[in-house]
Each structure stands twice: as C-alpha cells, then as structure tokens.
Amino acid sequence: MAVAFDASRVTVVDHPLVQHKLSILRDERTGTTQFRDLVRELARFEAYEATRDLPLEDVEITTPICTTTAKQISDRKLAVVPILRAGLGMVDGVLDLIPAARVGHLGMYRDEVTHEPHEYYAKLPGDIAERTCLVVDPMLATGGSATAALQYLRAQGATDVRFLCIVAAPEGLAAALEADPDVHIYTCSIDEGLNDAAYIVPGLGDAGDRIFGTL
C-alpha cells in the first residue's frame, strides 16, 4: 500500500536540469569528484526554491542611466544546518546563493542494524531562534535522522525550518512531516521506497560514502 504524506508541505524541485543532473548522480559509474560537484549544484537549485518567499524591500539606486527604485532582500537572517556527514556536501551549494548565512552542524549517524539515528555532535549559531534554518541532508530514508535533527532545532527555539534533501522515500517524508507539523520539505525526487536495509530505492546508494570516497 502507498505511504501517505501531506503533499502540500513537500516541494519537488523537478526542473529538467535537476532531473538530468540527478540521473548522473544516481549512476553507479559516477565517481567521487563529479558526485560531490553534482550534490553542490543540486543543493543550489533547491536553495533557490526554498528561499523563494524571502521578503524584499525597496532601495534607491543609481544606474549608469538614472536613479531608480530597486529591490533587495530585507534584513533576514539565515542558517544552513547540515546533518553530518553527507549534509556537508550540500553546504557550499547553499552558500553559493546566500554567502552571509551562518552554518550550524548536527552530527548524526544511522545504526546499520536498527536504522535508528545517533546524535554525536551539535553546534548551532547562538541566535538560531531568529534565523530561517535550511537543514540539509541528501537522503531522507526512514526519516529518523531528519526527525531527530528537527526536534533538536525546535528545542533550541528554531521556528522557521525548511528541510532540503536530494532524494526522499515516501516513508521518510511521512515520518518527518508527522513529527514536525511546521516543516516544509524540498526534494529533487520522491523515490519508490526502502529496501530491507532501509536504503532508498532506486536511490543513489550511500550518499556520505560517495561524497567522501569512503566506499
């Protein structure tokens, strides 16, 4: 039976360029260097979508032709929060668009047998409660790691939290959306499901190992 989730809180970033790059990312023949570059590029596309509602304000500028009123992002604080390790691969893609964002880190690994997340590190900007948080992790599988990360951020006072992954399983979407009624999730693909080892199918394998060459 299909796994149900609230699709109104999920944005699939499915621009043709994204789909093309994701196919290369999935291919088992794609090596570490290209994999890393593609994760960064896809994170950039996702950050573009996830910041579509940033508020603007008017500013007076002078072009070489005349003075005019133009738009700039009004003072809005952002933080990018990678879930270690694989989330690190997405950080620079977000910072390419938002260089002033602060970076928090959440260390989490999934037990290979139970698939339960284990937290081993956390360091966030002190004013995280005032920031729009873009949590990044390429893989949303069972949703255990995402749920733990979201719960940690909420406990630290974060109110505006968006989760950016590259591939999501319906099971992970359902779990994270149910655990956190306010989060919005951005993904490049909703895949078929999980295999017996709780890997995403068809997925792309172990994202951390492919980013860091630790296969």
Catalytic positions are 110, 114, 206, 209
Using CB distances below 5 to 8 A depending on partner kind, what does residue 44 bind out of ligand URA, ligand PRP, none?
none
In whole angstroms, the minimum distance from the beta carbon of 139 to ligand URA comes to: 4
- Residues of this chain, 24-43, that bind ligand URA according to CB under 6 A: none
Contacts to ligand PRP from residues 111-140, by CB under 6 A: 115, 117, 137-140
Q: Rounding to the nearest 10 degrees, give the CA dihedral for residues 6, 11, 12, 14.
A: 150
Residue 140, binding choice from ligand URA, ligand PRP, none, Cβ under 5 to 8 Å by partner class: ligand PRP
Q: What are the helix (H) ranges across the chain? A: 16-26, 32-50, 88-97, 144-155, 170-179, 207-212
CB of 199 to ligand URA, least distance (A): 4
x-marked contacts with ligand PRP along 172-201 as a string, rule CB under 6 A: x-------------------------x---
Q: Helix %, strand %, coil % for the chain, to 5?
A: 35, 30, 35
**Residue of 179, 192, 195, 191 whose CA lies nearest to 135:** 179
User: What does each C-alpha distance from 130 to 87, 151, 186 come to in angstroms?
Assistant: 22, 17, 21
Burial (0-12, 13-18, 19+ Cβ within 10 Å), 181 = exposed
| Residue 203 binds to ligand URA (criterion: CB under 6 A) | yes
Query: Which range, of 90-98, 116-124, 148-156, 205-213, touches ligand URA by CB under 6 A?
Result: 205-213
Binding positions for ligand URA, rule: CB under 6 A = 86, 139, 141, 199-200, 203, 206-208
Binding positions for ligand PRP, rule: CB under 6 A = 83-86, 108-110, 115, 117, 137-146, 172, 198, 206-208
